[in-house]
Structure 1
Amino acid sequence: MKITDLLKKDFIIEELVSTGKQEVLEELSRSFQKGNVKFNLDAMIKVLLEREKLGSTGIGDHIAIPHGKLNGLDDLIVAFGRSSRGIDFDAMDGKPVNLFFLLMAPEHSTGQHLKALAKISRMLKDHHFRKSLMETKSKDELYQIIADKDDQT
């Protein structure tokens, strides 16, 4: 599975303007509207907030991987967002989150959904990858860093 098959450049936000958990989920979800993805924005945000109630998807090391399954979605989709200042996301380690990968899946795609989550998690274990994502400037560079890591993982 290739993350870059699910992530379009239009789904990358170089600097999130959001300051809170719900705002981040909304901002990342709205990025999908730039890519001809047909979905209900309110329903997506509701699914993500419900998932967060089960336990934060802020996994530590300044990373969050919010995810959910949405009825009516045709394919898996991934968005990426970065916050240089960090956002309180109730992460497991209590630290603010800088790097967000949002994964949305069709309601009945358990296997693919889990494979994509696992792949993103493996990619983010690499400190140099995370550092590169924080230091690069443009959307094109961010996409290329993710693509290069995707090829190696």
Structure 2
Amino acid sequence: MGITDLFSSSNVLLDVSANTKRALLEFMSTEAASRLGRPDQEILDALLAREQIGSTALGKGVALPHAELDGDGLPIVLLARLGRGIDFDSRDDEPVDIVFLVLWPSSGGKGLLTAMSEICRTLRDPQSLRRIRSAETPEAVIDLVRQLAAARDGAIPATIPPPDDT
């Protein structure tokens, strides 16, 4: 199961307003809880516990907060694009404005790592980030992520040149 299987336009939140990392995690916990039918405090606690280990900011304005949740429920991926970047304790000190939230059931094996890896590979190219930042609708974001994932997997020719790994 790839991220595109877990990702729909209803899981894309554009122009989110949050002033702090905690406020954003609280907002996203509430959003995820309403979709999963779980208490938002349970989700927030799991995310904050993960952030205690170290920031989930990836750099280039992107963060990937994630957690495993007890049980065998459904996984979920949410994307929030903030109207204004916030401090997320990123190593590159850039404010974060694109946030992928990944929540995975503990019974889901290594699915969490696979999903996070897929997101990282999909967002590797700076052009991808620019296109997500300029997308006007949740549907446009979904289409873009699907195109990027398909290009990454070789299903369609890449419309964005891959990064030079030499």
Q: What's 1:85 paired with?
A: 84
Alignment of 1:12-91 (within 5 A): 12-33=12-33, 35=35, 37-72=36-71, 74-91=73-90
Percent identity (aligned): 28
Which protein shows a greater Rg? 2
Shift of 1:152: 2.0
Structure 2: state its 5+ residue gaps: 153-166
SS of the residue aligned with 1:75?
Answer: coil
Q: How many residues in Structure 1 have an aligned counterpart in Structure 2?
A: 152
AA at the equivalent of 2:79: F
Contact kept? 1:16, 1:27, Cα under 8 Å: no
Instruction: Report the Cα distance in structure 1 between the residues aligned to 2:71 and 2:5, rounded to whole angstroms.
Output: 19
Q: Of the two structures, which has the highest relative contact order with CA contacts closer than 8 Å and spacing of 6 or more?
A: 1
Q: Distance in 1 between matches of 2:10 and 2:28?
A: 11
Unaligned runs of 5+ in 1: none
Specify the code of the residue in structure 2 equivalent to 1:25.
L
**Which one-letter code corresponds to 1:129 in the other structure?**
S
Q: What is the distance in 1 between the residues matched to 2:70 and 2:77?
A: 16
Equivalent-residue separation in structure 2 for 1:145 and 1:71 (angstroms) = 32
Q: Runs in 1 of length 4+ with deviation above 6 angstroms?
A: none
Query: Normalized against structure 1, the TM-score is what?
Result: 0.92
Query: Any idea what the Cα deviations from partners look like across 1:50-80, whole Å, max 9, x if unmatched?
Result: 1001000011111100000111351221000
